[in-house]
Amino acid sequence: MTDIVILPGIGASGELHWQTRWEKSNPRCRRFQPIDWDRPDLKDWLDALDRAVGSASKPPLLVAHSLACLLVAHWQQVSTAPVAGAFLVAVPNPEAQAFPVEAASFANPPSSKFRFPSLIIASTNDPYGTIEYARERAGQWGSGIVEVGELGHINEASGLEDWPQGKAFLAAFSAGVAS
């Protein structure tokens, strides 16, 4: 069984967020730990992701939400650490008006194909990134894409609780990347 590294966005995904619920219910899940969740610094988050991947016994699966999706895009270009794949939920557009100013260092994510398999899960009414933006990124990054309808930012406010549909998508993706 593959280890899973949980990569929340700004604010660290609260207690009711699906990422936190998955982490608490699955002993294979471990959350990466940057110094500051509320004032994200790209270098700090890159280092934290390196530490999390490095501490896994074998190449882990990355489960990223929001800003952490952009982190994965930056990280995969500067690190050679092996990962099984990346499950990217609610990719935000750093050029959108709603993008947090605190996260400016994450802007201009690479548009090159990822060096590992990836899947984007996108909502048709995400206030931080349009479905067109998610499709564009999927094309650039060589990612698969699943459009889940109107789920907002696919976060706590979306009322997903344990998000069984997301777990099913992750299980299918994980089975496809298993070596």
Quote the CA–CA distance of 162 and 156 in Å, as a whole number.
Answer: 10
Structure tokens at 75: 């990280």
Please count the helices (runs of H) and the strands (runs of E) in the chain.
5, 6
**What is the C-alpha to C-alpha distance for residues 5 and 85, in angstroms, rounded to an integer?**
11
Distance CA 41, CA 87 (A): 22
Q: Which tens digit of pLDDT belongs to each residue from 130-167?
A: 999 999 999 999 999 999 999 999 999 999 999 999 99
Give the start-to-end residue ranges of the domains of the chain: 4-177
**Architecture of the CATH domain 4-177:** 3-Layer(aba) Sandwich (3.40)
Contact status, residue 110 vs residue 117, Cβ threshold 8 Å? no
pLDDT-derived band at 112, boundaries 50, 70, 90: very high
Query: Residue 133 corresponds to which amino acid?
Result: Y
